[in-house]
Structure 1
Amino acid sequence: MPSSNRPVPADISSISSSIQARHLQFPMAHAITAAPGDSANDVGALLAAWQFDACPVLEDGHVVGIFQREEGPLSTTVQDSMCNITARNLTAADTPLESLVEDLGTHALIFVLEGRKITGFVTPADLGSAAARTYFYLKLSALEVAAADYLRQRYPHQEDALSALSNGRRSKAQELVASLLADDAFIDIVASLSLQDLVSVLGKDEPFRARIRESGIGWDSLSHGLTGFRNDIMHPSRPFGGATRKGAQGLSKKLRGLTTLTEALISLRQLNVLLP
């Protein structure tokens, strides 16, 4: 389809709100919990056995704190070791995942509120769930679609885009084009490019690089590891982001990068940037 007839990409904010805290939460009714008077050693051992790092502390059916497992013996009660709940440990059920990721980089557990009732909680481990992986895949797909649409507009003669690839990658792309043509499944050259190829072409496109420089984030930081990130999303058996706060911090950084790249592509396409 000619680039002039293709619609402008949809606002990616709809993707950002598609997966919410309510889709990730672990229900309180099924959670391991502790009471303030419980032995910290015993609760810590139970959490370790289930490979959990933290649990809610309940008193008379109400959440009063968070107990986090620590290494080594603790000659205390849960009440002596627990953390108090702050506003940063609470979130509305309709909070988008994108807003949760950064907080999960600093908090082991965030409670989910439906109205005034705590219905469950989210931990860094939940970033590897099917719902979270779906969200990250949607964000990455938005980037791929925006990249393809931009390159179709930027290179009216799509063969010119192949010149930005290494000899080996160019040969593979040309082989795939020939195979698709033989199978009557060819759409266009851009549709035949892998994510790695799309990123390589964009990396040598000056209007795009200039727009990225305006973001203040380096190109190498934005583009590094995108192919591996896509593979991790698509293979549920692979660890994704890890079950730790450090892993959540890494995913938060990756999300900011995906948003920066996608918004740059959409803005350039709306400006109708063409080859000289």
Structure 2
Amino acid sequence: PYIATRRGPLALRNFDDLLCLTPMNLAAYTALRERLGAAARITQGVHPAAALKRTEELDRRAAELRESLRLGDAEHLLGIFPGSREGELHVILPRMLQAAREILRRRDDVRAAVSVSDRRFEPLVAALLERHGGGLCQAGRLQTTSAPANELLAASCHAMLCSGTLTLEAACLGAAGTVCYRLTPTGAVLLRTFCHHRHIAGRPAPLGLPNALAAFAGAEPRELPYAECVKSRCRANLITRCVLDALPPGPHTKECPPRLDARVESLIRQSIQPAGARSLDEHVLRIYRELSACHAP
């Protein structure tokens, strides 16, 4: 949803090929190329997240993860994905944990697991859990896991999602969730200074990548797959409300896991895997062959 106002013109003037991974960037850079009179070739490739699918094998590993976390058959799992940058962990994870405390207080059939994607941050995550977990770790209702993100997404009944790429992976797996994001003070200044917040259909583009893709493809605001608690709205009470509104009211059943609307899920997948688009490897190979032909003796 954001376009770099300075890097875009530099890229178009200095590179022969630009490969975009979303239709928003394809449209933005194509329009910018026309305005600048640049000659760069711009194409959209298949986003790597498009390869993700909900399979029987993934469901089996998700069930094993639930067992390793010692969840009861009827208990819901809340997946917490606070990102993989130290700044994000300091800013966002405390809010997520405060929300999780309230959610688990109101729903005794819910347990939570925090994804620790980078083992270097395990001490920091442990310290934040100790400070903001409210004793839930000792009670076994709040845990950490280094399991692959797609397995925790598949195992969860709902997910708090921070990372931009992870939100797209969640959408490709049909995982239900809430987008939570708040920039560090330095990041907010840099974003306002160097990036332009795009509008889609006359409205500011959603911050969550799946929401932005769905909106760009023509989905109405009420059809967007994820509630967003972002920027100044990234507050524990709002996250709590969004998650509680979305959690299934009854006991967990593995036969009917929460899923995104199938039409919107398909819309997002088509946006990052348009007909005729090539993978990143195929694009690189094509350019390599073209260059080799140009410089052949």
TM-score by length of 2: 0.29
Structure with higher strand content: 2
Structure with higher helix content: 1
Which of the pair has more CA radius of gyration?
1
TM-score by length of 1: 0.30
